[in-house]
C-alpha cells in the first residue's frame, strides 16, 4: 500500500486520532475516506468530464495560514497566504496578509520599500472587501482587523528606523526620514481608502485612529530632526495640518500638534520662559558652535531632542522641575559667558547635514 503523505506539507508522520488521520508536522486532519484516496496505487481509468473539488485543500490552507498568523510566524504565514491567492484571488485576507508578512520580514535598510509596497496594496484590499464581503458585521470586522494590524506594523517600522538613527551616529538622517515617513503613510493612505470606498461609514471609528497615530509619528520625527536643519526640510509638515483638518471633520475637539511653531532647547525654554532670551541665546550658540562641531556632540543633541520634549510635556509646568534645572543652567550659562560666548540675539546655525 502506498504510504500516506500529507498534501499540505509533504509530511509522512500521520497518526489516527479520534477517527481522523492527523499530520504531526502541520496538524491537518484527513477523514478515513480522504486517507483511502491518498493510498490508491496504479492507474485509474476515468471516462467523461472530471471535476476537481479542492475546497477541502483551500480550507486546510486557510487553517494553516491563520495558525501561522496567530503564532506570529511571518515566514509560514506569508508562504501559505500566497498559496491561497492562487486558489482564491478575491480573498482580501490573503491579498493583505501576503504583503503584510513580507513587510514584517524586512530589514532596516528595506523599511521604506516594504512600507510603500504595503501602502500600495491597501486600495485593492479595501475594494475586495467592498465587492466581496456583503455582511456588514463581517465587513466591519475586516476593516477593523486591518486597522489594528497597520497601526502595529507602522509603529514597529517607525520605531526601528528611529532607534537605528539614535543608536548609530553615522546613520543617515535623510534615510531615517524616508523610512519613518513611509511607515506613517501606511496609516494615512488606509484611512483615505476607507473614505474612498465607504464614504463616512468607517471615518470616525477606523480612519481617524489611523490618522491620529500617523500624526503622532510625524510629530516625533520632527522633534527628532529638530537640530538637523537641512534634513528636517525633507519632512512635509503640512501633512500634519492636512490630516488634522480631516480628523476635525469627525472629531471637532481634536487639536493637532503645532509642529511649525515648536522650537528647540526645550528644557531651557521651559525654565526661562522663552526661546529668545539672553540665557537661551548663549545655550544655542554653545549647541551649534561647540556640540555641533563633533560627532559625539551631535549624538548628544540627537538624544536630547528625542527625550527632552517628553520631559517638558510631563513636568514642564511643575515648580520643582524648573527649580531643579534653573540652578544648573544658570551656572552653565555664566561659565559659557565667562568664556566669551555671547548672549545677544541669535539665529540658529545650519550645522547638521
Would you state the pLDDT for residue 229? Answer: 52
- Residue 352, pLDDT score: 40
In a domain, 308, yes or no: yes
My answer on whether 93 and 170 are in the same domain is: no
48, part of any domain? no
Asked if residue 53 is part of any domain, the answer here is no
Neighbours of 5 (CB within 10 A): 14
Bridge partners of residue 16, in order along the sequence: 21
**Looking at the domain assignment, is residue 52 inside a domain?**
no
Burial class (CB in 10 A: 0-12, 13-18, 19+), 205: middle
Q: Are residues 280 and 181 in the same domain?
A: no
Q: Do the Cβ atoms of 191 and 210 come closer than 8 Å?
A: yes
- Please enumerate in sequence order all residues whose Cβ is within 8 A of that of 136, keeping only pairs 6 or more positions apart, or say none: none
* Residue where the block lists cell 485576507: 93
- 99, 131 contact by CB (below 8 A): no
- Contact status, residue 143 vs residue 130, Cβ threshold 8 Å: no
| Count of domains forming the chain | 4
343 located within any domain: no
For residues 199 and 271, state if they share a domain.
no
Residues 180 and 126 in one domain: yes
Does residue 227 sit in the same domain as residue 125? yes
Q: Are residues 271 and 250 in the same domain?
A: no
Residues 161 and 223 in one domain: yes
C-alpha span between 112 and 102 (Å, rounded): 13
Helix axes 173-198, 111-132, angle to 10 degrees: 10
At residue 226, the pLDDT reads 66
In a domain, 217, yes or no: yes
Q: What is the DSSP letter of 171?
A: S
Instruction: Note down the domain range covering 307.
Output: 266-338
From residue 307, alpha-carbon distances to 206, 214, 229, 297 in Å are 30, 20, 18, 16
Is there a domain that residue 59 lies in? no
pLDDT tens over the chain, length 353 residues = 566 788 777 778 888 887 788 888 777 878 877 777 776 544 444 454 444 446 789 999 999 999 999 999 999 999 999 999 999 999 999 999 999 999 999 999 999 999 999 999 999 999 999 999 999 999 999 999 999 999 999 999 999 999 998 888 667 888 999 999 999 999 999 999 999 999 999 999 999 999 999 999 998 888 777 655 566 677 888 899 999 999 999 999 998 887 655 456 678 877 876 666 788 889 988 988 898 889 888 888 888 878 888 888 788 778 898 889 999 999 999 999 999 999 888 877 654 44
- CB atoms near residue 101 (< 10 Å): 24
Write out pLDDT tens, residues 107-150: 999 999 999 999 999 999 999 999 999 999 999 999 999 999 99
Same domain, 278 and 255: no
Q: Are both 306 and 333 inside the same structural domain?
A: yes
Q: Are residues 256 and 117 in the same domain?
A: yes
* Residue that finishes a domain, picked among 73, 105, 137: 105
Residues 78 and 168 in one domain: no
- The pLDDT value recorded for residue 271 is 81
Which pairs from 114-118 meet CB under 8 Å and 24+ separation?
A: 114/157, 115/154, 115/157, 115/179, 115/182, 115/183, 115/185, 115/186, 116/182, 116/185, 118/150, 118/153, 118/186
333 located within any domain: yes
Same structural domain for residues 319 and 208? Answer: no
DSSP state of 109: G
- In this prediction, residue 316 carries a pLDDT of 79
At which of 87, 105, 123 does a domain end?
105
Instruction: Give CA–CA dist 27/149, Å, rounded.
Output: 26
Amino acid at each position: 500500500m502506498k504510504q500516506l503523505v500529507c498534501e499540505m506539507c509533504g509530511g509522512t508522520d500521520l497518526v489516527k486520532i479520534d477517527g481522523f488521520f492527523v499530520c504531526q508536522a502541520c496538524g491537518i486532519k484527513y477523514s478515513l475516506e480522504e486517507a483511502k484516496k491518498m493510498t490508491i496505487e496504479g492507474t485509474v481509468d476515468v471516462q467523461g468530464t472530471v471535476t476537481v473539488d479542492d475546497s477541502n485543500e483551500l480550507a486546510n490552507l486557510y487553517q494553516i495560514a491563520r495558525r501561522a498568523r496567530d503564532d506570529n510566524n511571518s515566514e509560514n504565514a506569508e508562504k501559505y497566504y500566497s498559496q491561497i491567492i492562487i486558489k482564491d484571488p478575491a480573498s482580501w485576507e490573503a491579498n493583505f496578509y501576503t504583503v503584510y508578512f513580507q513587510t514584517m520580514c524586512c530589514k532596516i535598510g528595506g523599511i521604506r520599500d516594504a512600507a510603500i509596497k504595503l501602502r500600495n496594496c491597501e486600495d485593492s484590499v479595501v475594494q475586495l472587501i467592498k465587492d466581496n464581503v456583503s455582511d456588514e458585521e463581517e465587513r466591519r470586522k475586516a476593516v477593523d482587523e486591518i486597522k489594528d494590524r497597520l497601526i502595529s506594523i507602522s509603529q514597529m517600522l517607525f520605531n526601528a528606523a528611529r532607534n537605528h538613527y539614535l543608536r548609530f551616529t553615522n546613520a543617515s538622517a535623510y534615510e531615517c526620514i524616508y523610512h519613518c515617513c513611509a511607515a506613517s503613510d501606511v496609516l494615512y493612505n488606509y484611512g483615505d481608502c476607507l473614505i474612498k470606498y465607504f464614504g463616512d461609514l468607517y471615518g470616525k471609528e477606523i480612519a481617524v485612529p489611523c490618522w491620529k497615530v500617523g500624526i503622532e509619528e510625524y510629530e516625533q520625527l520632527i522633534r527628532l530632526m529638530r537640530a538637523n536643519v537641512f534634513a528636517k526640510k525633507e519632512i512635509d509638515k503640512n501633512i500634519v495640518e492636512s490630516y488634522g483638518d480631516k480628523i476635525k471633520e469627525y472629531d471637532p475637539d481634536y487639536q493637532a500638534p503645532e509642529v511649525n511653531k515648536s522650537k528647540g532647547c526645550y528644557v531651557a525654554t521651559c525654565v526661562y520662559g522663552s526661546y529668545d532670551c539672553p540665557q537661551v541665546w548663549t545655550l544655542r550658540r554653545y549647541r551649534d558652535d561647540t556640540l555641533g562641531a563633533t560627532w559625539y556632540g551631535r549624538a548628544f543633541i540627537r538624544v536630547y531632542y528625542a527625550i527632552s520634549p517628553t520631559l517638558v510635556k510631563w513636568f514642564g509646568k511643575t515648580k520643582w522641575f524648573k527649580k531643579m534645572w534653573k540652578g544648573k543652567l544658570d551656572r552653565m550659562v555664566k561659565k559659557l559667558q565667562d568664556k566669551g560666548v555671547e548672549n545677544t540675539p541669535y539665529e540658529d546655525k545650519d550645522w547638521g547635514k
